[in-house]
Structure 1
Amino acid sequence: MAGLVTIETDRSVDNFIAQVGNASKEADSQVILKMMEEATGIAPKVWGNDKVPDFIIGFGKYSYTRKGSKEEFEWFKLGFAARKTKLTLYLPVDLTQEPLIDDLGKCKIGKGCLYINKLADVDQNVLKQLIEKSATKMK
């Protein structure tokens, strides 16, 4: 079985954010970065690889084994991806069961992914609570 394509890199987080190509997404990314740094107390790392240019800013890491495999993989515990069109937050809580989502504002969710167009669409205090809850869960 092939390893993961997304791996921890030595890329600069600030340079990565500066290359998003959308000033408002870059500013929103700086706010999310600060929220996650404060909640986790962990320095961020850029995850990805040069073959697949969808990079993610991750905090912490853990090892896991896929069901039916003996190969061990590393993944970030909490993170986000800044794109030109949206921001994706990867949170280790089941967002489909999370009551805070009702108070967050305009967003889409998956089980562990939160998709927002811009921070102005959501209540930042509620977002901070979700991030803090996720950071507590990852410890």
Structure 2
Amino acid sequence: MAETKTKATNASVAEYIASRASALQLEDCHQLITLLSEVTGQPATMWGPSIVGFGRYRYTYDSGHSGEAPLAGFAIRGRDIVIYLLAESGEQEQLLQQLGKHKMGKACLYIKRLADLDTVVLKQLVVNSVAELQRRYG
């Protein structure tokens, strides 16, 4: 079975942000660190070379594949910041409609700027996502 590539590391979050964030993204990254730390109760740590993660959970899929992942996290992807969260429920979908300017993938929320969003709604999305991960995986 293939080994999971994204693991917690001892790399510096500050160095990652300084090396990747544009001047416009820098403040947003610091605000996300505050928000995600507050929701998870955990400090920011690097997962692999490019994900700033908070907390952790252990998963096992029906296929038998297992690993660890951050409860919440974000990454800088060019001009976008990607926030990793679950948004599968009806409540999450309603919150996404209230969030502001974004694109949503399977578990990736793509944003240009936090200023484009309702941060109270974003925080609730993250709270709900963390709660669902903990419900599923303990």
TM normalised by structure 1 equals 0.84
- Structure 1: tracts of 5 or more residues without a match: 50-54
- Offset, 1:109: 0.6
Determine if the alignment matches structure 1 residue 125 to structure 2 residue 120: yes
Code of the residue aligned with 2:2 in structure 1: it is: A
Determine if the alignment matches structure 1 residue 137 to structure 2 residue 95: no
Structure 1 outlier segments of 4+, above 6 Å: none
Question: Is contact 2:40-2:71 (8 Å) kept?
Answer: no
Question: Is contact 1:25-1:84 (8 Å) kept?
Answer: no
Comparing 33-42 with 110-119, greater Cα deviation is found at: 110-119
Aligned partner of 2:84 in structure 1 is: 90
Comparing 123-132 with 7-16, greater Cα deviation is found at: 123-132
Q: Secondary structure at the match of 1:100?
A: helix
Question: Percent of pairs identical after alignment?
Answer: 39
Question: Is contact 1:95-1:101 (8 Å) kept?
Answer: no
- Offset, 1:13: 1.4
- Offset, 1:132: 2.4
Aligned partner of 1:60 in structure 2 is: 55
Aligned partner of 2:17 in structure 1 is: 17
Structure number with higher strand proportion: 1
> How many residues get paired?
133
Structure number with higher helix proportion: 2
* Cα RMSD after superposing both structures: 2.0
- Structure 2: tracts of 5 or more residues without a match: none
Aligned partner of 2:67 in structure 1 is: 73
